[in-house]
A = this chain, B = another copy of it.
Amino acid sequence: MHTVKELQDKVSDLFDTRNYLSTPSELYAPIQYSLSQGGKRLRPLLSFMACSLFGGNFKEVENPAIGLEIFHNFTLLHDDIMDQSDLRRGLPSVFKKWDANTAILSGDTMFVIAYEYVTKTNPDILVEVLRLFNQTAKEVCEGQQYDMNYEKQPVVSIEDYMEMIRLKTAVLIAAALKVGAIVSRTSPLQAQKIYDFGIFIGLAFQLRDDFLDAFGDVDVFGKPIGNDIITNKKTFLYLTAYQRADNAMKQSLDHAFAANNPEEKIRRVMDCYAQLNIRDITEQKIKELHDQSQLILHEIDRPEADKQEIYQFLNILIQREV
């Protein structure tokens, strides 16, 4: 087993030395810009962690892990156009720094580059990795579509929301873990278990995001608190509040979300959330998902001692403040 730090260094080495510049520069400069920003590099790290857990060969996990990370960054380029997001990792998004056409075409090219890396997977497992990659990519697109649909839809159930974040966020985290299992030639059952584990981790990860937007420490979080509230985003907090509110409280929520002044809007919505106990309910839900993930991790046929690194890392991830 390797420590998380060792694996993080391996992942950094993989990306820091890589150069995507080519001609025409108008196409490749935005790709270089996007991929040199770093970010958490969570997905390739998870591939390496799973590979380490199952005793696989790191050389074999490198290419599909790079492919998954580039795919993830491609989705961000296109999402930022669709969501009209000007900022990404504290810097101007490609859409903002260049324009929509650049973000479309450079994004498409990143998608191809992602497949180029996946294509370098060892041939005896290539079809399995490709199928996983294709299915995941399609589901991520479906998740983004549901997310856009729900913006316009007046009522969204918690079940539908959880299914949306499963598609948009969790399946890619699960696929990153499963890739580490596949290159280690585990049994299909073990590969499925680490995938299912990843789904619960991914769901908890996204709910933690929703949570931090309202209850994060502004000094630690690094971005303004309450952005989801200001944009009327249908997060787990928002949907749970409406689900649990009686008619009078629903009216209060409607009034709060209709407020024009941003600070007043946040204050009034947070007041409703406090009355409805949304903080505890969300923390409880995250804990449930975390517990379910731990149950599955426990079932995986590897020595418990070897699972400690993953266990501790994900503990930190799910309880993170940023």
Residues of A at the B interface (CB closer than 8 Å) are 23-24, 26-27, 78, 81-82, 100-101, 104-105, 108-109, 111-113, 115-116, 119, 123, 126-127, 130-131, 134, 137-138, 141-142, 144-146, 148-149
Taking CB atoms, residues of chain B closer than 8 Å to A149 are 24, 26
Q: What are 9 inter-chain pairs, A to B, with CB distance below 8 A? A: A24-B149, A26-B148, A27-B141, A27-B145, A78-B108, A81-B100, A115-B115, A126-B126, A126-B127
The answer to whether A104 and B105 have CB atoms under 8 Å apart is no
Q: How many angstroms between the C-alpha atoms of A123 and B108 in the bound complex? A: 26
Q: Can you tell how many copies of this chain the complex includes?
A: 2
The answer to whether A112 and B127 have CB atoms under 8 Å apart is no
Q: How many angstroms between the C-alpha atoms of A101 and B145 in the bound complex? A: 10
The answer to whether A119 and B112 have CB atoms under 8 Å apart is no
The answer to whether A148 and B101 have CB atoms under 8 Å apart is yes
The answer to whether A142 and B24 have CB atoms under 8 Å apart is yes
- For A22, the closest partner residue in chain B by CB is B142
A143 to chain B, nearest CB (A): 9
Contact among B81, B104, B141, B146 for A112, CB-based, below 8 A: B141
The answer to whether A104 and B78 have CB atoms under 8 Å apart is yes
The answer to whether A134 and B148 have CB atoms under 8 Å apart is no
A101 to chain B, nearest CB (A): 5
